[in-house]
Amino acid sequence: MVQQLFTQGSLFDLQTVIDYGQSVISVGQELLKPLLENRPLSTKTVQAQMNRYFLGTAASGAWQWKDAYEALEVAQILYLRQKGYKLLLESPQTVLLELEKLVALCPTQTRRSEESVQLQQFSTPLPLAYLVALAGQISSSDLILEPSAGTGLIAQFGKLQGASLMLNELAPDRSKILRRLFPGTPLFGVNAEQINDYLARISQPSVVLMNPPFSSSPKIWLVPW
């Protein structure tokens, strides 16, 4: 039925029919299965699942490799939600070793989109995300702000410690993923350099977990008063 909408010249396009955030998460759920069995994920497997949930191929423009990399990160987050609580009971050295093994099962992120470069979307590797959260000495009483949340890799480690979250992500597509992955969590979509202006009238975070500062500034948003 969906395919007929396009072949018959309907006004609806692919993005109208597809829920981007849910599609990425659905791919992530499929990619999670071999990871839970400690099996490597091939590029062919990733492509097949992306083609399935985005109703077309990368060559046809139905999706980009940036989208596939987001799905891979979602799979890692879902892995943490299943095994992370038990894993974090181990020593930091053991946790790092297991996270490195997990990352090694996934294809590397070797292709960049124009948006990735423009917004400097260089995701934090999973072992480093763990170290960032470890350095933050997170407790269940903390309110964590992730000013450039991406797909939520760093934030997920804070959530594993029972902390509350506040997220910010400028990229609209990544925001759609975050809304699906972290329902009910406050989510901003502003330039992180100005995030304090938006937090002035609401709860202040006790911990900020983030990537290093960016080398250039995205577009500036003015705060209405």
* 124 and 75 co-located in one domain: no
Structural domain including 146 reads 119-212
Tell me: pLDDT of 120 over 60. no
Query: What's the confidence (pLDDT) of residue 222?
Result: 44
Q: Is 78 found in the same domain as 14?
A: yes
**Pair (89, 153) in one structural domain:** no
Give residue 193's pLDDT.
82
For residues 136 and 128, what is the distance between their CA atoms, to the nearest angstrom?
12
- The answer on pLDDT for 3 being more than 60 is no
- Mean pLDDT in residue range 203-211: 90
- Letter for the amino acid at 200? A
Angle subtended by helix axes 126-135 and 92-104, to nearest 10: 150
At 111 the pLDDT is 64
- Greater confidence, 82 or 118? 82
Is the pLDDT reported for residue 134 higher than 90?
yes
Domain co-membership, 86 together with 125:
no
111 lies in a domain? no
CATH of the domain at 146: 3.40.50.150
Q: What is the pTM of this model?
A: 0.84
Specify which of 91-105, 113-127, 201-215 reaches the highest per-range mean pLDDT: 91-105
Domain end position, chosen among 39, 67, 98: 98
Domain assignment present for 93: yes
The answer to whether the beta carbons of residues 104 and 132 sit under 8 Å apart is: no
The total number of structural domains that make up the chain: 2
Helices (H), the chain: 2-7, 14-17, 20-36, 43-54, 65-87, 92-104, 114-118, 126-135, 153-160, 172-181, 195-199
Q: Report yes or no on 16 lying in a domain.
A: yes
